[in-house]
Amino acid sequence: MNTMVDDESQSSHSTVDFVSLLDLKPRSVPREKIGFGGCRSVNEFEKLNRIGEGTYGIVYRAKDSKNDQIVALKKVRMDDKSEQDGISVSALREIHLLMTLKHPNIVHLNEVAVGKKLTSIFLVMEYCTQVKCIFIQLLKALVYLHKKHVVHRDLKVSNLLLNDDGCLKVADFGLARTFGEPNGEMTPRVVTLWYRSPELLFGSKEQGPYVDMWASGCILGELLIHRPLLPGKTDFEQINLIIGLLGTPTEKIWKGLNEMPALKDYNLRTQPYNKLKGVFEHQSSSCLQLLNALFTYDPHLRISAQAALNFRYFEEAPLPCDPSMMPSFPQHRNRKRQRKNSS
């Protein structure tokens, strides 16, 4: 691809000077042959949402209309002189490097797309999801906790912290307990309502790793749709939201359901359909399989953290980004925010 760095608007000039992105050497091209060249129009990509902003551009999650592939679309930031002087040296350098560097741990540049103006440049890159990075780290933390016979019992998004290196930290162990002890009954009134598993809502005092796995499913769903998945206000509403999403549980799929304390004087409404696919319509089949495994009604059949880590979902594109690529808040920003809050 060749990109203009000296755009003289005078129509009397017969050629325009360019710098080749392949070798950074100057080229002269007849004005009548200027156009998109080998680059596609950015209009061929559907912007889905904005996912970040760096020093030299804004990044969008987008869908390629040609093959429905999800990509990262970075609009190269231009300064005030771009209209006259062309693309900045820093932008040219980034494009040139990404076109020549090939490594599994370096983001892959698929192609370059252009807007209506020749100075409107978009880098079409592989999309690496932050959601998978966060969730993998959560599952690894749960593998460790559950091997230590510890159940957290209050997993929610607000109890997951990210340090400046993109490393996830599970916090708030105020409700955590060890499990597996004789007569180790626990109160069911734990776990923030939106993340509370059906067995807890139905009054079960037997608790284990499976309550954390249900909560982690709620967290994954929330990360994917950018809002709480099951935001009930009361136990009754929470139960109905779960049934509305997953269908009505039965004794056939959940052995012992009819013996649950809260169901002795309560009849569940009938809703025969699992609607996960409708809520997560843009997710892959392996993602839906993982969500269904996390949202298995019978707690003893619910997937473990170790088994969840082995799901194909984490090995298919888009791959999880490296923790070091996660957004962070530099310490000086944190201090500034703390001073503002204290004043």
Domains detected in the chain: 2-126 (3.30.200.20), 130-325 (1.10.510.10)
Distance CA 341, CA 343 (A): 6
Residue where the block lists tokens 């105020």 = 174
Half-sphere exposure of 299 (CA within 13 A, CB side): 22
Give the residue among 82, 81, 76 at the shortest CA–CA distance from 94: 76
For residue 88, CA distances in Å to 44, 80, 241 come to 25, 10, 52
**pLDDT at residue 188, rounded to an integer:** 56
Is 297 in contact with 198 (CB distance < 8 Å)? yes
pLDDT tens sequence for the chain (343 residues): 443 333 334 444 566 565 565 566 666 655 444 444 578 899 999 998 776 665 556 788 899 999 988 888 888 877 655 455 566 777 777 788 788 777 655 678 899 998 877 668 899 988 777 899 999 999 999 999 999 999 999 999 999 988 877 889 999 888 888 887 654 556 656 678 999 999 999 998 888 999 999 999 999 999 998 899 999 999 999 999 999 999 999 999 999 999 998 888 778 999 999 999 999 998 999 999 999 999 999 999 999 999 999 999 999 888 888 887 676 544 433 444 444 455 4
Helix axis angle, 209-225 relative to 130-147, nearest 10°? 170
Is 180 in contact with 208 (CB distance < 8 Å)? yes
> Is 140 annotated for ligand binding?
no
CB atoms inside a 10 Å sphere around CB 186? 18
**pLDDT at residue 12, rounded to an integer:** 44
* Residues 6 or more apart in contact with residue 156 via CB below 8 angstroms: 192, 194, 195, 215, 218, 219
| 154 noted as active-site residue | yes
The catalytically annotated residue of 17, 64, 79, 154 is: 154
